[in-house]
Amino acid sequence: MRVEKMPAEFVKALPILQKIRNSGYEAYFVGGSVRDVLLSRHIHDVDIATSAYPAETKQIFEHTIDIGIEHGTVLVLEEGGEYEVTTFRTEDVYVDYRRPSHVNFVRKLSEDLLRRDFTINAFALADDGEVIDLHGGLADLEARILRAVGNPTERFNEDALRIMRGLRFAAILNFDLESTTFASMKDHAHLLSKISIERIFIELDKLLTADFWQKGFRELLAIEAYPYLPGFSDKTALTHLLALPSDFKFTTAVQAWGYLAHQLGYSDGKFLLKKWKVSREFSTAVSKFLTAYDKRLKGDFSSEDLYNLGKSSLTLVEEMFAAQNLETNFEQISALDAQLQIRNKKEIAVSAGQIMTEFGIQPGPQIGQLFHQIELEIVKGHLQNTPQHIFNYVKKTLREL
């Protein structure tokens, strides 16, 4: 098969391939970018594989960076871009079910493609557009099947993260798992307990935010991988996610993880997400979603909810209500947002220091409590956010003490 019209990203990188070939070595586009070209999908990264060893690649190009030279990868800075050029390689015995103990540089493309995870990721594309398919990937693309390269037991024993990658590809591409590959993923799911939770999170996060996330999530349950994921032991609760409409897509990762945490019974996402070692910012955002969800179950949102939790959290919750055919009120959120005078306490028209000076208040708990009270009154719309109105409010409050 030949690609007649290469995408712009490949056209721009063609001089890299040609320069390597003119130096007497083989060079090809490889990996997921080739798969995406064949599926007419957007390309994210352009990866190049070559028979040139790292030292030889560095001799060909004037500007390079050793970003992973021990694994054969050199970053080439040319043609106004940055390109990872990796030497064909084979891999020795894997340690920790994730990393090879040693890599061997080789000159044959066929040896390099044999170490790839799935057949649809084991293509190479030459500079003339010829697609090199040594493992039946084109047929699997046509059949929309995910099949491990070679022996699936060997592939998943080498790198157990490939199990999560397979689920992610199913969710992104809407592909089915080939039966032998499915069985091997199920047999080796327990190896996920050996894998860094940060790496698993990346794969699951991409799965949940994919167009066909329900397919990937359904397969995750089917291969019984969930007991090896932190906090995911309740299969019944996890299955509730699949009750959402088949065409529903999560708007953001916060919404996906927030709704997942809600189904699992968590009222505070920080407890669950601490196990997943996510950023504090992401954990806080999910916790705000959960708080908003709980408040919405009890009634409409208030100005304080909007101020404390943010319009984004409230909107994401309302979208989940819509997905479940529950009554929604997006208009109310917009109305509350339009009426809100401040977004944070820094926007209050006077500072705590100015109030202390104006009324001779000494530092201490009193000014903190008073300023918080002012903040709430402004948020509720009971107090206009102007110096004069705030000073009048303080004067009245102090008189009543």
Q: Is 399 annotated as a binding residue?
A: no
The residue assigned the tokens 């943010």 is 310
- Three-class secondary structure of residue 130 per DSSP: strand
Cα angle 327, 331, 335; round to 5: 140
Backbone angles phi, psi at 18, to 5 degrees: -65, -35
Distance separating alpha carbons of residues 169 and 215, to the nearest angstrom: 10
Q: Is 218 annotated as a binding residue?
A: no
User: Do 273 and 283 form a contact (C-beta atoms < 8 A)?
Assistant: yes
Distance separating alpha carbons of residues 241 and 263, to the nearest angstrom: 7
Q: Is 98 annotated as a binding residue?
A: no
Q: Is 299 annotated as a binding residue?
A: no
The gap from C-alpha 115 to its chain's centroid, in whole angstroms, comes to 25
Q: Is 35 annotated as a binding residue?
A: yes
Q: Is 147 annotated as a binding residue?
A: no
Q: Euclidean distance between the first and final Cα of the chain, in Å?
A: 85
Helices H / strands E in the chain, number of each: 20, 13
Q: Is 168 annotated as a binding residue?
A: yes
Neighbours of 154 (CB within 10 A): 13
Distance separating alpha carbons of residues 159 and 165, to the nearest angstrom: 10
Cα angle 72, 75, 79; round to 5: 140
Edge-first strand order for the sheet with 27-30 is 64-68, 73-78, 81-87, 47-50, 27-30, 123-125, 131-133
Residue 67: burial class (beta carbons within 10 Å; 0-12, 13-18, 19+): exposed
The two structure tokens encoding residue 30 = 């490889």
Neighbours of 10 (CB within 10 A): 20
Binding site members for Mg(2+)? 45, 47
Binding site members for CTP? 32, 35, 116, 159, 162, 165, 168
Binding site members for ATP? 32, 35, 116, 159, 162, 165, 168
Binding site members? 32, 35, 45, 47, 116, 159, 162, 165, 168
